[in-house]
Amino acid sequence: MKKDMQSLSPEARAIIKAQMTRRTLFAGVGAVSAAGVLAACGTGSSTGLKTVVDVSDSEKIVRWASWPLYLDFNEDTKVYPTLAAFEQKSGIKVTYEEAIDDNNTFYGKVQGQLSIGSDIGYDVVTPTDWMAARFIEQGYAQKLDAANVPNKSNIREVLANVGFDKGRQYSLTWQSGFAGFGWNTQKLPKGVRTMDDLFAPANKGKVVVLSEMRDTIGVIMLYQGVDPSSNFTEDQFMNAIDFFKKKIADGFIRQVKGNSYSEDLKRGDANAVIGWSGDIFILRSESGGKFDFAIPESGGTLWSDNMLIPSTSAHKKNAESLMNYYYEPAVAAQVAAYVNYICPVEAAKPELEKIDPELANSPFIFPDAATLAKVKVFRSLSSDEATKFQTAFDEAIGN
């Protein structure tokens, strides 16, 4: 961070301490009991049906499921530079897949296998905080061996002790970022900074919004003057759903999508989106400034994604080696220079200054108090709220 915690405003400190959550906490209670269960498993991972034996010493592989546009990539060589360096350094072969387009969709694909202790095909997954909480609570994550992840101490202080994973026993933040407005600068040269800008007549049928309920509805709630980090009412949430449904019915919203919304921008099918900061900045760098991003004047949301090891992984030590590597400040800085999300490693800023001094001063990578004051963390939901609100959202989009 540009400023230490004490120099931030009380509001900014409150936001950060609430966890830089990507689409918020699903639950903060229960992680301790899940931790107790898994801690008793020793070197193996108990799924309730079988114990998974770690074969990292004989099978030098790691299979990693992440989101699109989320790791440094060389377009010319078609190689992930930091990943290639890790493979050379460790002798571990990494299969990296952009397999997560939406938290719920990904969970739906793997939950059945996790529940019976069957290999899901991944040794590292990268869910958002609220989904990471679900993995941990349901016993679907393995407890990290601290000796294998010494760089864990490099995590930003404000991320080191989150509600769903006290002391970071099961997870490490991958990246944090903002949800707000992205747009095509050639089609919308004046930009998009308000909800009225987003739903201007010229954009009818050319708007795509996120399938992550907490981001899309959170941005709408802020536009309606409701703080999604507060103890808002069901009526206030449903007012935002009504606004959302009307924009779909009126033909303004073209589609509701996961991470693939970026393709709609690139193809020209969308003029503007409710999207994620780093995605838009990557598109901007790849297109010579054709796209841009802004936190809405009425406010945006703040989120985090996390690396954790599924309970069915038989390559735990290899996965821990990978997680440890990405918490080296120089490596974290190289990733930040590409993805342009909030870097989770405290000491990465001076390393990023060596790569790109301008990026090192970006409020979207090392946010200052003024930037953080513009965003809110969607509060944690009770089980009943989570079910009711997600159902309302799904019905609004026709699911």
Per-residue pLDDT tens for 38-54?
A: 222 333 454 455 689 99
In the structure encoding, which two tokens stand for residue 43, read together?
A: 């070197």
Is residue 26 very low, low, confident or very high in pLDDT (cuts 50, 70, 90)? very low
Mean pLDDT comparison of 39-53, 78-92, 152-166, highest-scoring range: 78-92
pLDDT, tens only, 202-242: 999 999 999 999 999 999 999 999 999 999 999 999 999 99
Under DSSP, the state recorded for 342 is: B
**Which CA distances in Å does 274 have to 215, 316, 351?**
8, 36, 31
Residue predicted with more confidence, 294 or 285: 294
| pLDDT for residue 145 is more than 80 | yes
Q: In whole angstroms, what is the distance from residue 305 CA to residue 125 CA? A: 10
Which sign does the torsion angle of CA 310, 315, 320, 323 carry?
negative
Q: Above pLDDT 70, what percent of the chain?
A: 87
**pTM recorded for the entire structure:** 0.79
User: Residue 17 — pLDDT band, cuts 50, 70, 90?
Assistant: very low
Secondary structure of residue 124 in the 3-state scheme: strand
Provide the residue type at 279 as one letter.
D
* Whole-number pLDDT of residue 49: 55
Cβ–Cβ < 8 Å for 31, 164? yes
Q: What does the pLDDT look like over 301-352, one tens digit per residue?
A: 999 999 999 999 999 999 999 999 999 999 999 999 999 999 999 899 999 9
CA 285 to each of CA 90, 110, 191, 278, 296: distance values in angstroms, whole numbers, following the listed order: 31, 34, 17, 11, 21
One-letter amino acid of 178: F
How many Å apart are CA 290 and CA 308, to the nearest integer?
A: 35
Instruction: Provide mean pLDDT across the span 188-201.
Output: 98
Domains of the chain: 6-175+302-376 (3.40.190.10), 177-300 (3.40.190.10)
DSSP one-letter string for 143-187: PP-GGG-GGGGGB-GGGSSBTTBGGGSSEEEEEEEEEEEEEETTT
